[in-house]
């Protein structure tokens, strides 16, 4: 009989210890250590293997390795292809995370049906949360039926591997990894050990057979994918499916991609018949913009290789408390007090007794430094109650001394603004050289925040 032992594993980071602790020493989270049973098997005598029998692989010179460009598998959704870097790479393992009910299963079922309609392509959709009848009902509602789309309700990893070997599909979907378990691991499905071992088995199948596998992952209340951090390191690509519960728009964002650029973004709209692609997201984000409102500016932000124009809104009002409030939605909350300190020190705006509320309209999250100038002008516009010109777009990073620093891919940003009818672009002066300035939009180069405020608001 194998002796039963137990260990305590952190469900956030995978840290293991022999005794229970209230706080994890690794990730410093409280009440995340869960007891798991471990069967220690007797190994008997040690067996030593000679070096000749250990492995058949030998180190190779990197210059002697032959490579070839493998064709990517195109889905019927150009937005999904863009986020994946041009399509699905054979043998890749992709992890998709998102809030419950956001549309992960709907997206993958639509993609599976589109791939199944491709010649000589079969798809195996494995659901651990729904029965085959429930999946069929959802497919009927979405109108995504195909004879080459196979559906399986299974949670045992051994049976999953058996059916993959039997069907030999061209594409596999696992919904979700937290429901799959291996009998050899003595812990509950969804635990750190189960998620790690099942993902490792799926990675072996994907690499050995060349089958692209999509894995659905649950997220924690903080918004990160549940399970050990190792899970995101094991897969080839990590995608997040985001969106507000009360809005119909969904954003598919790439945060890791071994076969393409990160921070690519695809926009979808959730309708009764499923997810529909949004061809021009800039028009969607700006269609409800108020003309001539103080505190409103437009920034050209880069999401991967795609420029997106988004509205920045600010509301500055006198505080009623000793400590003024600084709130931000859709951008780093530490950036707001930093830019307000620059405006107060370098421009002379008295903001220390003002509450500040800054928001990125449309539910988009921006995290690049190029949005600094638009945020600063938006705050100054609301404080002085002077609206900026509605046909201006602003791009630039603001330094602590008040200078405007150059940003990357200025040409694509300006071209997107000109395409949507904007008349002026306020950009860093250092970005004016090295490219041909367009004729259909006026380019204004600025060196400091004072110059930017003078150009947009008529003065500081």
Strand ranges (E), 258-410: 265-271, 274-277, 296-303, 306-318, 326-329, 354-360, 392-394, 397-398, 404-405
Report pLDDT for 449: 96
In a domain, 97, yes or no: yes
Are both 366 and 446 inside the same structural domain? yes
Report pLDDT for 222: 64
Report pLDDT for 32: 82
Report pLDDT for 364: 82
Report pLDDT for 46: 44
DSSP 117-163: TSTT--EEEEESSS-HHHHHHHHHHHT---TTEEEEE--BHHHHHHH
103 annotated as a binding-site residue: yes
- Whole-structure pTM value: 0.76
In a domain, 68, yes or no: no
Are both 325 and 411 inside the same structural domain? yes
Chain CA centroid to CA 239, Å? 5
* Total of domains in the chain: 3
Are both 149 and 133 inside the same structural domain? yes
- CATH number, position 139: 3.40.50.300
212 annotated as a binding-site residue: no
210 annotated as a binding-site residue: no
Report pLDDT for 223: 64
User: Encoding tokens for residue 456?
Assistant: 């947009």
Are both 240 and 341 inside the same structural domain? no
In a domain, 219, yes or no: yes
Are both 254 and 153 inside the same structural domain? yes
Are both 36 and 85 inside the same structural domain? no
In a domain, 61, yes or no: no
Are both 34 and 135 inside the same structural domain? no
Report pLDDT for 12: 74
In a domain, 29, yes or no: yes
Are both 326 and 385 inside the same structural domain? yes
In a domain, 15, yes or no: yes
What is the extent of the structural domain holding 35?
3-41
DSSP 183-241: TTS-S-TTSHHHHHHHHHHHHHHHHHHT--EEEEE-B-TTSSBSS-THHHHHSSEEEEE
Are both 111 and 198 inside the same structural domain? yes
pLDDT tens, the chain, 460 aa long: 555 678 888 877 778 888 899 998 888 888 888 887 765 554 444 444 444 444 557 888 888 888 777 788 999 899 999 999 999 999 999 999 988 888 999 999 999 999 999 888 999 999 999 999 999 999 999 999 999 999 999 999 999 999 999 999 999 999 989 999 999 888 888 888 888 899 999 999 999 999 999 999 888 766 667 666 678 888 999 999 988 766 788 889 898 999 888 878 888 988 888 999 988 888 888 888 888 889 999 999 998 788 999 999 999 999 988 889 999 999 999 999 999 999 999 999 999 999 999 999 887 889 899 999 999 999 999 999 999 999 999 999 999 999 999 999 999 999 999 999 999 999 999 999 888 888 889 999 999 999 999 999 975 4
100 annotated as a binding-site residue: yes
Report pLDDT for 459: 57
228, 259, 279: which is the final residue of a domain?
Answer: 279
In a domain, 393, yes or no: yes
In a domain, 54, yes or no: no
Q: At residue 181, what are phi and psi to the nearest 5 degrees?
A: -140, 155
180 annotated as a binding-site residue: no
User: Encoding tokens for residue 274?
Assistant: 């499923």
Report pLDDT for 380: 96
102 annotated as a binding-site residue: yes
372 annotated as a binding-site residue: no
Location of structure tokens 């798991």: 36
Are both 274 and 300 inside the same structural domain? no
Are both 83 and 171 inside the same structural domain? yes
Report pLDDT for 5: 76
336 closest CA partner among 301, 295, 304 = 295
What does the buried/exposed string (b/e) look like for 359-384 if buried means 16 or more CB atoms within 10 Å of the residue's CB? bbbbbbebeeebbbbbbbbbbbbbbb
User: Encoding tokens for residue 227?
Assistant: 């399970």
CB-count exposure of residue 121 (10 Å: 0-12, 13-18, 19+): middle
104 annotated as a binding-site residue: yes
CB-count exposure of residue 209 (10 Å: 0-12, 13-18, 19+): middle
Are both 82 and 124 inside the same structural domain? yes
- CATH number, position 315: 3.30.230.10
């Amino acid at each position: 009989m194998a002796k039963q032992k137990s260990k305590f594993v952190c469900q956030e980071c995978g840290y293991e210890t022999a005794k229970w602790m209230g706080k994890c020493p690794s990730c410093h989270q409280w009440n995340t250590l869960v007891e798991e049973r471990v069967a220690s098997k007797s190994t008997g005598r040690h067996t030593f293997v000679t070096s000749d029998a250990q492995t058949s692989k030998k180190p190779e010179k990197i210059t002697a390795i032959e490579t070839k460009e493998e064709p990517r598998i195109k889905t019927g959704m150009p937005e999904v292809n863009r986020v994946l870097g041009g399509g699905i790479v054979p043998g890749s393992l992709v992890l998709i995370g998102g809030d419950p009910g956001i549309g992960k299963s709907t997206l993958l079922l639509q993609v599976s049906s589109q791939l199944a309609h491709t010649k000589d392509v079969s798809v195996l959709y494995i659901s651990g949360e729904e029965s085959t009848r429930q999946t069929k009902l959802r497919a009927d509602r979405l109108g995504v039926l195909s004879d080459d789309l196979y559906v399986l309700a299974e949670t045992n990893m051994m049976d999953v591997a058996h059916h993959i070997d039997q069907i030999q599909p061209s594409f596999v979907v696992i919904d979700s990894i937290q429901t799959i378990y291996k009998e050899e691991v003595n812990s509950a499905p969804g635990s750190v050990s189960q998620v790690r071992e099942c993902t490792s088995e799926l990675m072996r199948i994907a690499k050995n057979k060349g089958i692209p596998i999509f894995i659905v992952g649950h997220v924690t209340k903080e918004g990160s994918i549940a399970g050990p951090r190792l899970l995101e390191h094991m897969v080839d690509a990590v995608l997040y499916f985001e969106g507000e519960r009360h809005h119909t728009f969904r954003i598919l964002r790439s945060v890791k991609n071994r076969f393409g650029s990160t921070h690519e973004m695809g926009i979808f709209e959730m309708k009764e018949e499923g997810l529909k692609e949004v061809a021009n997201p800039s028009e969607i984000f700006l269609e409800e913009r108020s003309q001539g409102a103080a505190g409103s500016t437009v920034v050209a932000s880069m999401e991967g290789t795609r420029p997106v124009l988004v509205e920045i809104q600010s509301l500055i009002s006198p505080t009623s408390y000793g400590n003024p409030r600084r709130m931000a939605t859709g951008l780093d909350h530490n950036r707001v007090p930093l830019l307000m300190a620059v405006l107060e020190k370098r421009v002379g705006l008295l903001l220390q007794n003002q509450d500040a509320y800054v928001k990125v309209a449309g539910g988009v999250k921006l995290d690049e430094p190029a949005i600094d100038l638009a945020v600063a002008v938006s705050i100054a516009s609301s404080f002085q109650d002077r609206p900026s010109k509605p046909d201006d777009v602003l791009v630039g990073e603001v330094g602590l001394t008040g200078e405007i620093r150059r940003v990357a891919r200025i040409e694509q940003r300006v071209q997107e603004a000109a395409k949507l009818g904007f008349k002026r672009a306020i950009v860093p002066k250092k970005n004016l050289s090295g490219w041909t300035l367009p004729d259909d939009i006026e380019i204004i180069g600025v060196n400091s925040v004072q110059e930017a405020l003078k150009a947009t608001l008529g003065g500081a």
